A = this chain, B = another copy of it.
Amino acid sequence: MIKVCILGAGKVGSHFIKECINNPVLNLVQIYNRTLQPIKIYQDSILITQDTTHLVKADVYLICLADDVIKTLDLSSLKGLVVHTSGTKPYQEINAKQRGVLYPLQSFSKEKHLDFKQVPLCIETEFENDLELLFKLANAISTKVQVLQASQREKLHLAAVFANNFSNRMMGIAYDLCKKQKIDFTFLQPLLQETFLKTQVLPPHIAQTGPAIREDQATINKHLEQLTGLDKEIYKLVTQSIQKRHGEKL
């Protein structure tokens, strides 16, 4: 079994805690959090602490804290591999002897259960002989493990912001428009499902439909009349983006 210590019990940390507790290959030996309150529920079965100088021995320390916190921790006395879970930070921000990254390419909500088996894990270590251990840990959690250097991980993270955060915001604007008109948002679900399913069989620029790509200016104008503020600006800009991409070769 791989002894794991998790630092942080936020969105990402709490999902990793649950995974470690239920995973037969992993042994969760300790949880660190800045405040004890959120991790007190685990105190009967697992060591908990709010002091990084009290960390016990583990094979892997998994930092699930805000990006900017990583470099503020002094973990230089630890004997074990210390990895963070950030999509954007280099492992160099970790103050430890053995360092690496385990970036889960997924969006975490506390409210929703997640099956880690399907979550792509991008891993990287400073020293080659640490890679085997991290690979073993990642493989115990997910079927989709990939070694990825920092520069590619950064681009993947940026792509994920568009694919997930920004497409979610587009659905959010749709949700708010429906709510204001007292239209049931579930009426849009088959369309959302189709939108998602299409990305599995067609590149998005091929699957693109709507007034923008049809250059249907009458409909575009009618839509703009109904919008105000940021929604209107977004409508204009994304319409422009669809039209510019149309026909372009990458």
Of A24-32, A48-56, A207-215, the one contacting chain B is: A207-215
Contact A204 B250, beta carbon cutoff 8 Å = no
This chain: how many copies in the complex? 2
CB of A21 closer than 8 Å to a CB of B: no
A42: chain B residues at CB < 8 Å are none
Residue of B nearest to A186 (CB): B200
Q: Contacting chain B: which of A76-84, A133-141, A189-197?
A: A189-197
Q: Are A155 and B174 in contact (CB under 8 A)?
A: no
Does A237 interact with chain B (Cβ within 8 Å)?
A: yes
CA distance A212 to B160 in the complex (A): 13
**A174 with B160: in contact, given A192-B196, A238-B234 (CB under 8 Å)?**
yes
The residue from B170, B180, B214, B222 contacting A162, defined by CB atoms under 8 A apart: B170
| CB within 8 Å for A111 and B209 given contacts A158-B226, A160-B188, A191-B105 | no
A210 to B12, CA, bound (A): 12
Contact A163 B192 (CB under 8 A): yes
- How far apart are A206's CB and chain B's nearest CB, in angstroms? 8
Q: Does A177 contact B (CB under 8 A)?
A: yes
In the complex, A188→B161 CA distance in Å?
Answer: 11
Check A19 for interface membership: any CB of B closer than 8 A.
Answer: no
Chain B residues whose CB sits within 8 angstroms of the CB of A181 once the complex forms: 152, 155-156
Indicate whether A130 reaches chain B with its CB closer than 8 angstroms: no
Interface bits A102-113 vs B (CB < 8 Å: 1, else 0): 000111110110
- How far does the alpha carbon of A167 sit from the alpha carbon of B198 in the complex, in Å? 12
For A193, list chain B residues within 8 Å (CB): 118, 196
* B205:A172 contact, CB within 8 angstroms: yes
Q: Is residue A179 within 8 Å, beta carbon to beta carbon, of the partner chain?
A: yes
B155 touching A183, Cβ below 8 Å:
yes
> Which A-B residue pairs are the 4 nearest by beta carbons?
A165-B210, A172-B204, A163-B174, A167-B167
A residues bordering B, Cβ < 8 Å?
A: 11, 66-68, 88, 105-109, 111-112, 114, 118-120, 144, 146, 152, 154-156, 158-181, 183, 185, 187-196, 198-214, 216, 218-219, 222-223, 226-227, 230-231, 233-235, 237-238, 240-242, 244-245, 250
Provide 18 A-B residue pairs closer than 8 Å at the C-beta atoms, listed in order of the A residue: A68-B216, A105-B188, A119-B190, A144-B187, A152-B181, A154-B222, A155-B177, A155-B183, A162-B174, A165-B210, A171-B199, A172-B203, A176-B245, A179-B250, A189-B200, A195-B196, A233-B237, A234-B237
